[in-house]
Chain A
């Protein structure tokens, strides 16, 4: 484990004026915060969390919604974990936004492995913070308490993907306890990876089905957008497709064999059609071989 040394380190105790106000109001606010980067970035933010074993759907949702929020000037708070968390951080960085990573180990300890570059970038464009002293090694139980901090540092928490049981689900519980607004991206009823998210919806969490709904919720809780992100983010303008193959992969991610069977088409036609759609930038192939729609903001 290497240390992040380039950016500035800071420590904040609960009575410091720079101590994040949103966190201070919660009962579990830690006595001391250790961080690297800019302490001023610890304003009340927008948390984006999701499964580590994310599906392409979760990653795309994190990319779209965190990307839009960052571009609009909100601070993206997440846990630095692989999967949805890192997708949210990356989306924030790609859209020149501010982002805060809350770690379950010392803020100077790189975990998960391989996140050095990402955490470096987060420290330069926000902060990497932890309630644990410098050099604390990662441990399972610290990551559960870390989730409280993620909820505490923000006014709105968005769950992009959660299975059952999951740490993400626990984070949502903390957020509800602390009186935060919890938003959820609905998932497929067939996907076990979406069970947790869909249960949160049933329990009364607010569904997010487009950027405009997220915009309304963030405006209520955090104030209006500071920058106009542009029109390409919305899903509103996407017309239902006459193309059966495109329509099929939009509803659920499928392999060519599944598409051919679902549409009763022969494999050659499907393979050529899906290849053509990919050439046109309308669908993407995921690492597991399934195809899904390209989100609107990535088409350009």
Chain B
């Protein structure tokens, strides 16, 4: 009776659950069975394990092999159990020393020649192993994450290496933060668009969501792409949060670990599950991949109404909760929303050079497709006009991204010194307290609300923006100047 248990793990939502891989090699007709709610990919491990074990120069015993994945009720997905099953089999048949897997969580996919591939979520597994005071035994390929503080990592690239136990521990050095910009997109590259740049500066400083309205080719995407360059770099906690989500989704996580904020731009044909998360096994959606970064929705009115409405919960709660038979999973979704829309279906309403071909009714209805509840979460709305070609050839005299980021950081410090939470979520008395309106500016605000028929929500949005403008101005009070500037960013229906 030869048995062996190897610790592996599986991903459930963003959580990593420990899984014990129990291998039993015993008498009976030769067979190879995997039990414990495996999915198809786990079942196929049998063929990969058989070939890889032979290719590495070991023997597959001609006996009855049973692999049990415990705990039984948890559904197991993917190819990450290959390595644990193979090592369990080799240890149970005494071809490999048990010390290879001592104190380890084993994750990796086998290829038929015995080499080991990485699977999505390696970073998540590594962190879970650290939290359980274990090392991660897995393939090379963690990149920057291998340098994470406190992480014990044993790299194995080929199954044959398991002969020399224990496998060398890679030195873990404290992680040094070095914020850098990968693509080098800078606001300095953009000529004109001064109002749009100002609006994005305010949005970055106050954490506001924005909607850009303008004809095709006016530079909406170009502007949005540069928003991450003026947001503060990710702090240590945010880096890990974002990197883990990216790792589980099978994306490159090194950018996030280096402090670059994610920028996600899903196409408007995206499904609800693709936007907010879902599927089976449930994967994080674009809203979660944009966690701590920017979610850019180009052609916003073209998104399905159901998809847009599904973004309400993530915007309001900063997370999505998916309920499945196996349990609830939470995906964090704290992102800055940047929407872009054409002013009308043809795109040229209000353009100086091209005539709009839409009937006025159609044009007016177009933007309302975005829907009130979502618009209520967007504090700044502004026009992006097509820039005069002559201007494009001139050098921009505006602020560079790094200068803008300094203003953003300074203004965020000011806002957090108030201790009332982020400006973009202030409401009611808290908002009034933060604004410290004096008599005359309160009167002006009242006048504006009456003159422009602003709703209660419209006034709230106006005040939030005015508060951030005042922060950028280093002013503790919101004055008429700040309200005047904020007025220009009110929503279209508040005309």
Contacts and interface: CB of A to CB of B under 8 A. Distances in A.
Nearest to B353: A192
B364 A257 contact: no
Contact of A83 (B360, B382, B391, B452): B360
Given A279-B451, A289-B213, A271 B195 contact: yes
A275 interface: yes
A279 B447 contact: yes
A267 B195 contact: yes
Nearest to B490: A285
Contacts of B194: 256-257, 260, 266-267
Interface stretch (B86-94, B127-135, B259-267, B480-488): B480-488
Nearest to A274: B488
B356 interface: yes
Interface string A177-202: 00000000000000010000000000
B198 A271 contact: yes
B50 interface: no
Contacts of A281: 451
Interface in B188-203: 192-195, 197-198
A112 B364 CA distance: 15
Contacts of A255: 195, 383, 385
Interface in A164-186: none
A276 interface: yes
Contacts of A285: 488, 495
Contacts of B486: 275
A275 B483 contact: yes
Interface string A227-267: 00000000000000000000000000001111011000011
B484 A287 contact: no
Contacts of B213: 289
Contacts of B488: 256, 271, 274-275, 278, 285
A53 interface: yes
Nearest to B447: A279
Contacts of A268: 198, 485
Contacts of A271: 195, 198, 484-485, 488
B350 A267 contact: no
A208 to B, nearest CB: 24
B223 to A, nearest CB: 13
Contacts of A287: 350, 364, 492, 495
Interface in B355-394: 355-356, 359-361, 364, 382-383, 385, 391
Contacts of A204: none
A274 B361 CA distance: 28
B207 interface: no
A259 to B, nearest CB: 10
A285 B452 CA distance: 10
A236 to B, nearest CB: 25
A52 interface: yes
A257 B199 CA distance: 12
A113 B486 CA distance: 36
- Among B213, B486, B487, max chain A CB count under 10 A is at B487
Contacts of B485: 268, 271-272, 275
A290 B214 CA distance: 12
A266 B485 CA distance: 13
Interface string B171-192: 0000000000000000000001
27 contacts: A52-B360, A53-B355, A82-B360, A192-B355, A256-B194, A257-B193, A260-B195, A267-B198, A268-B198, A271-B195, A271-B198, A271-B484, A273-B484, A274-B488, A275-B487, A276-B481, A278-B484, A278-B487, A279-B487, A286-B495, A287-B350, A287-B364, A288-B350, A288-B383, A289-B382, A289-B383, A289-B385
Interface of A: 52-53, 82-83, 112-114, 192, 255-258, 260-261, 266-268, 271-276, 278-279, 281, 285-290
Given A257-B194, A279-B480, A287-B492, 7 more contacts: A257-B193, A260-B194, A267-B197, A273-B484, A276-B480, A278-B484, A287-B350
